[in-house]
Chain A
Amino acid sequence: MNYEKKNQTENEVTLTINAEQITAPKTLSVIQALWHAGYPRVKGVGCLDGVCGSCSVMVRRADSTELTMELGCQLLVEEGMDVFFSVFDTPSQHSYDLSEINTSWDVQTEFHRIFPEAEKCRHCGGCDKVCPKGISIESGVDLAVKGRFRESGELFVECVMCNLCMTGCPEFIDPNHVGLFSRRVTGYFHTRPSNLINQLEAIRTGELDVDTSDDEQVTVMNGEKS
């Protein structure tokens, strides 16, 4: 992974990253381009796989007035691109403990207590526009407000908690946390797999155990069981 080795001008592009002009091979992501050009970058870099949400950037492409939000590790460099790394702390204003919701009957009331802003959604569509994963956030919030948590959570499957919708929400709803709440209550109250429960019981009673003494014998035992 030596980014300095390559030096083919015909395959390079020039772009601006945090006001620094940088030339880099066009096969690189903007983070790789920064490294290639020898600029240190430590914060705002995470999994490099597009799922941790730490590398959100603002991008203005050449000849465009539009400014988009994307994930730097997933963004291929382009000629004339202008990129700004946004590294800001965005703590959620909402706090809750699943174990304090007594039954699934209480979820809806609790939701509105924890997220009182959610029903104030003004439907500006900003969250949908800003989401680098293309999630229908506004609908997700709507569904949660209506108490349809399973459906709401399903919309947030690909959410990486980059918090862009949070900073983009004029009503301070914290939409990604609404989505995560929806997902969590669904798992917490409605996932009761019988195969898992049976196995837990068999382990509790000692019916299932592991013998570490001898590999041969182990195979036989296993054969008998199945």
Chain B
Amino acid sequence: MTLNAPISYQQALDNYLKKSDFPAPQAIPDEELLLKQFHPDHREGTITTLQVGPNKGDACHKQLADILQADSRIDAADLAGARIEETDILVIGGGGAGCAAALMAAESGARVILATKLRLGDSNTVMAEGGIQASVEKSDSPQAHYNDTLKAGHNKGKKELIKKLVMDGPETIRWLIQQGMQFDLNEFGDLLTRKAGGTTANRVVYFRDYTGLEMMRILRESVKNSSIDVRDYCPSVELLSNESGHCAGAIISSLNDCRYVQIKARSVIVATGGIGRMHLNQFPTSNHFGATGDGLVLAYRLGAKLRDLDSFQYHPTGVAFPQHLSGTLITEGVRSAGAYMINALGERFVDELKPRDIVAAAIIKECNEGRGVTLDDNSQGGQGVWLDTPGLEARNPGLLKQRFPKLIKLGLKSKIDITKVPMLIYPTLHYQNGGVIIDENGLSSIPGLYCVGEISGGIHGRNRLMGNALLEIISFGRRAGLQAVKARQLRGHKQISIDHISNLRRELMQNGMSMEKKSPLLFPDYAKYDTEEKLDIKSRFSKCEVCNL
């Protein structure tokens, strides 16, 4: 490894603009070695072993272990005076998975409450750009989809789950169309498809680079026009359990009035998404504000078994400059369409359509070895490589404008004309590959507790393909919604409590662990949710010093 002098933004831009031709990069001799050396998952000292809970002894990222092995935010005493409500199905989380689950449950005639920490739709789903995988072309098949998914996940995915996922693909698209979703079509009305990094066929269907936005707004509209009782600004702080240890509801803490509400439910579907806002390894993230791994903590405390807690996806193309947009995602679709990635010397360095973990590791390698673009303005810091949108535009005039309106807008906000000047990119924390172990209907190891979407683990193994997340949330969201109604406890629960919290505390103390940290986090630390008055800017009219009421 040679360490050269850092190459400044201007110098690198000159290097780039001088070149008119970018020869194909050399193949990577040993991909596993590249991952080991440069992928953030393998960074030294970031992985620890869990000491309590169902995954005792398993490897886990340190920051995640901190919240899995933390104390609860509540005591039984906090529930004195807390209102109790009853419903058939409680869905926790207001993204795509939560909406799909809630819609199916409501359609089956169940009473459904959907409680979400932010507002319905303020989620990662809404930001998904590239598309959703489903084998719809004649040249493609569910089998090929299965093979690609399994392979990209380093053969670690659970085969039965992947099979369900890929077989659901076309039906999922049909269902979305029936909710009123639009997709990009060709002149004959067929779905347009494109490749993703790591796919062997054109399989990603999409709506421009707004696939998630289009999906989320129609799902939100469907939910709001249904019988589902939506509770915005209502994060769940703990699950409830019944006399047999089954999941029996949840305790929500309203941000509107700072009160706890206990919701008793026959089945609970947790769809709280991922952990991006924990900024693992100090990485910026493409995730929404509420992605703090709350559901993982709740499920783990109730005894649900998790997997792959040391495996995360760093999306290769996050914005590295300007800083106020840092971490913002640039869709993989741009690389699918043929955009190169160029280092500071003006050279391609990796096949841009390799799976995400390989490409991300390759970018980090370039930067670590002095071939990255170094931002010289010290207010920024940071490094990155170019995303060659000008080259893409030169090869396909007009394509950017037609297919990637959101990216063009992103350029405008960055004061960069992306048809002329490349954007600087660096991997951004994007996805939690692992999560709660589930069966083919999203049921966890705890009866009554379903986990769907990013919170679940096993489908993507240790690396996810573009477009498989959107497919997963709808496919498994719908499965869980149906199954939760079918298998709900008909006679209700004899007794509900938070006794499992005592077990957690017992275990933590017996292992001599600190009880100082509380979880779930609910919000990233910089939002100051816990440290200051709880809600928003301090009010001079506050009657209560603690919660600004």
Contact = CB atoms under 8 A, between A and B. Distances in A.
A and B touch in the complex (CB under 8 A): yes
Interface of A: 1-3, 6, 8, 11, 17-18, 20, 25, 27-29, 32, 35, 38-52, 54, 74, 76, 85, 87, 89, 91-92, 95-98, 153, 157-161, 177, 180, 183-188, 191-196, 198-200, 203, 208-212, 215, 218-219, 221-222, 225-226
Chain B binding surface, main DSSP class: loop
Contacts of A35: 526-528
A47 B177 contact: no
Nearest to A150: B182
Contacts, number: 247
Nearest to A92: B224
Which secondary structure characterizes the binding site on chain A? loop
B126 interface: yes
Contacts of B409: 50, 158
Nearest to B212: A51
Interface residues on B, range: 35 or more
Interface string B223-244: 0111000001100000000000
B122 A184 contact: no
A69 to B, nearest CB: 16
Instruction: State the 7 A-B residue pairs at the shortest beta-carbon distance, nearest first.
Output: A184-B180, A46-B122, A40-B528, A27-B323, A212-B159, A29-B324, A187-B182
B505 interface: no
B124 interface: yes
B517 interface: no
B189 A193 contact: yes
A45 B537 contact: no
B143 A208 contact: yes
B221 interface: yes
B181 interface: yes
A40 B537 contact: yes
Given A186-B180, A210-B167, 10 more contacts: A35-B526, A39-B528, A47-B289, A52-B216, A89-B232, A161-B217, A177-B221, A184-B180, A188-B180, A195-B191
B57 interface: no
Given A40-B533, A184-B221, A226-B139, A191 B177 contact: yes
Contacts of B135: 199
Nearest to B213: A51
Given A54-B118, A222-B144, A46 B288 contact: yes
B221 A203 contact: no
Contacts of B121: 52, 161
Contacts of A159: 217
Interface centre among B124, B127, B232 (most CB of A within 10 A): B127
B465 to A, nearest CB: 16
Contact of B210 (A20, A158, A219): A158
A203 B145 CA distance: 14
B163 interface: yes
Contact of B143 (A17, A48, A225): A225
A47 B217 CA distance: 14
